[in-house]
């Protein structure tokens, strides 16, 4: 008997005994840590993925390096104790599992419309294998209403079962920060949950409460839980946009944005964020488009949300303007100058380049056929070839040598200490340094012009 059809007493017992199996669809940067959280809580886990190489490697204990502390060891321990295996077979996974967790990415197409096809195709396949007693929990961030309006009917049609009665269904967003996912889930935040009916919510609460120290926040519906995640992402995007716009104004005012920010934030209600080269990753730049579409469908004009996106998407060009300004000031010809970009990732110490401002900057510079060089300690040359066309080297010295313009885009740890001395000895002086992260407190000299966003 599977979890959702058990009596309340039996369900509690199965949680207490950790006798349940969880199928986690998507074994990527989020799916792997989530699997480890479930394993460490004492459950069995089936990792499901469409990538055959990944599945094969996972079963051999060859876990990809995703820079999440505890993940590699956690999966290996799971394999050794036979409490984890990976598979591409939905049939097998659903045979074994009581709880189905979905954590595959949803992205927007070129017209910024969310592409739900990968999800709906997966739901059709899961629906065809769904059994009485399963509960399916969406953890992937979704456009609001997707669980009830899109997923529920697909699962019912393909399974012939009734949602909320024969199988459970709900949404529980992943509220984590890359690099500390395990801790965020188990220790740092309560888990937001929302089922399509009371029984679904109850069973989700029982499950998550067994390993989330801060407990659960039960919302009144799956739709409410979906809204929490999308609103939070949009709130952040807009706040970053305000910082970016104010930084641009501060530059024109000849006022130091960072000095102003420090003073502003001395009030309890002041929470001005940091400006930067743009917003990357597959969360924050994507979720506003989910909401823009929803608002339009509902006849609400998403004015601020759209404006925020526009400001954040303008930041790569703002960095380019600084390159032009700096090289012109130094009387260097941009066509023959060597431009060194440090960091492909959208933020430090994380290997994630989706929607990274670095890619936009490289593309704009490539359009003018400029001499662009890239370094990122987290990437290999063969990976870069698949992502963007640029001169890439794993050797920082090689990228800095004879550079006329050096732009720090991702504040990776590797750059911390040695960067300034390396720039000083290797750059083609006089040179410009654009610190888009504002982490180096270095003076301007006759041979080094320094730019920041907001100064």
The footprint of ligand NAD (CB under 6 A) covers 25-31, 48-51, 54, 103-106, 118, 122, 140-141, 174, 176, 178, 282-283
Among 402, 401, 320, 396, smallest CA distance to 358 is for 320
127 cis-preceded (ω within 30 degrees of 0):
no
Considering the complex, state which of residue 176 and residue 312 has its C-beta at the smaller distance from ligand NAD: 176
CB 174 → ligand NAD: shortest distance, Å? 4
CB 356 → ligand NAD: shortest distance, Å? 13
Considering the complex, state which of residue 49 and residue 435 has its C-beta at the smaller distance from ligand NAD: 49
CB 49 → ligand NAD: shortest distance, Å? 4
Q: Which two tokens stand for residue 95?
A: 């045979």
Residues 26 and 46: beta-carbon distance below 8 Å: no
Phi, psi of 45 (to 5 degrees): -135, 135
Considering the complex, state which of residue 47 and residue 454 has its C-beta at the smaller distance from ligand NAD: 47
CB 203 → ligand NAD: shortest distance, Å? 22
CB 206 → ligand NAD: shortest distance, Å? 23
The answer for residues whose C-beta is within 8 angstroms of residue 62's C-beta and 6 or more apart is: none
Q: Which two tokens stand for residue 255?
A: 């006022």
Among 405, 272, 281, 267, smallest CA distance to 336 is for 405
Nearest residue to ligand NAD on Cβ basis: 28
**Residue for token digits 């994630």?**
352
Give, as one character, the DSSP assignment of residue 190: P
Q: Rounded to whole angstroms, what are the CA distances from 359 to 237, 362, 442, 453?
A: 19, 5, 27, 18
Catalytic residue among 191, 248, 283, 449: 283
CB 137 → ligand NAD: shortest distance, Å? 13
Residues 192 and 229: beta-carbon distance below 8 Å: yes
> Does 229 qualify as catalytic in the annotation?
yes
- Please tell me whether residue 25 adopts helix, strand or coil conformation: strand
Q: Which two tokens stand for residue 246?
A: 């104010």
Among 205, 126, 121, 132, smallest CA distance to 163 is for 132
Considering the complex, state which of residue 49 and residue 156 has its C-beta at the smaller distance from ligand NAD: 49
Considering the complex, state which of residue 133 and residue 281 has its C-beta at the smaller distance from ligand NAD: 281
Q: How far apart are CA 413 and CA 81, in angstroms?
A: 35
Catalytic residue among 2, 191, 229, 351: 229
> Does 405 qualify as catalytic in the annotation?
no
Helix (H) or strand (E) holding 433: strand 431-435
Among 43, 130, 127, smallest CA distance to 78 is for 43
CB 455 → ligand NAD: shortest distance, Å? 30
Residues 261 and 186: beta-carbon distance below 8 Å: no
- Please tell me whether residue 217 adopts helix, strand or coil conformation: strand
Considering the complex, state which of residue 48 and residue 432 has its C-beta at the smaller distance from ligand NAD: 48
CB 336 → ligand NAD: shortest distance, Å? 39
Considering the complex, state which of residue 15 and residue 48 has its C-beta at the smaller distance from ligand NAD: 48
Residues 126 and 118: beta-carbon distance below 8 Å: no
Q: Which two tokens stand for residue 337?
A: 């100058």
Considering the complex, state which of residue 86 and residue 372 has its C-beta at the smaller distance from ligand NAD: 86
Q: Which two tokens stand for residue 68?
A: 């999440």
Catalytic residue IDs:
229, 283
């Amino acid at each position: 008997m599977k979890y959702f059809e058990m009596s309340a007493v039996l369900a509690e017992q199965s949680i207490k005994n950790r006798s349940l199996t969880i199928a986690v669809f998507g074994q990527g940067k989020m799916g792997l840590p989530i699997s480890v959280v479930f394993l460490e809580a004492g459950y069995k886990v089936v990792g499901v993925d469409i990538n055959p190489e990944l599945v094969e490697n996972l079963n051999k204990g060859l876990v990809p390096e995703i820079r999440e502390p505890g993940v590699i060891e956690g999966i290996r321990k799971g394999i050794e104790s036979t409490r984890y295996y990976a598979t591409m077979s939905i049939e097998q996974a659903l045979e074994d599992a009581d709880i189905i967790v979905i954590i595959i990415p949803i992205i927007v197409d070129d017209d910024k419309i969310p592409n739900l096809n990968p999800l709906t195709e997966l739901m059709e396949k899961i629906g065809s294998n769904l059994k009485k007693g399963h509960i399916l929990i969406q953890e992937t961030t979704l456009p609001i209403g997707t669980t009830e309006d899109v997923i529920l009917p697909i699962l019912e049609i393909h399974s012939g079962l009734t949602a909320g009665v024969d199988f459970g269904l709900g949404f529980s967003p992943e509220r984590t920060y890359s690099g500390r996912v395990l801790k965020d889930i188990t220790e740092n935040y309560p888990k937001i949950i929302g089922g399509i009916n009371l029984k679904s919510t109850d069973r989700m609460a029982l499950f998550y409460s067994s390993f989330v120290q801060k407990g659960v926040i039960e919302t009144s519906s799956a739709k409410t839980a979906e809204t929490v995640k999308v609103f939070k992402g949009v709130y952040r995007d807009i706040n970053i946009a305000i910082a970016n716009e104010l930084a641009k104004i501060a530059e024109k005012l000849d006022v130091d944005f960072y000095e102003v920010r420090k003073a502003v934030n001395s009030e309890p209600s002041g929470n001005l964020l940091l400006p930067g080269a743009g917003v990357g990753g597959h969360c924050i730049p994507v979720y506003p488009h989910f909401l823009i579409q929803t608002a339009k469908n509902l006849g609400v004009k998403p004015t601020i949300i759209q404006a925020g996106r526009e400001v954040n998407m303008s930041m790569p060009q703002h960095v380019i303007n600084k390159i032009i300004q700096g090289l012109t000031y130094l009387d260097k010809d941009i066509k023959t100058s060597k431009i060194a970009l440090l960091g492909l990732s959208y933020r430090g110490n994380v290997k994630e380049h989706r929607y990274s401002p670095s890619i936009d900057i490289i593309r704009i510079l490539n359009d003018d056929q400029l001499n662009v060089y890239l370094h990122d300690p987290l990437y290999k040359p063969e990976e870069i070839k698949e992502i963007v066309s640029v001169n890439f080297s794993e050797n920082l010295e090689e990228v800095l040598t004879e550079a006329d313009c050096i732009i720090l885009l991702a504040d990776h740890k590797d750059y911390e200490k040695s960067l300034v001395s390396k720039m000083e000895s290797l750059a083609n002086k006089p040179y410009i340094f654009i610190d888009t992260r504002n982490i180096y407190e270095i003076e301007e000299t006759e041979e080094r012009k320094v730019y920041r966003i907001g100064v």
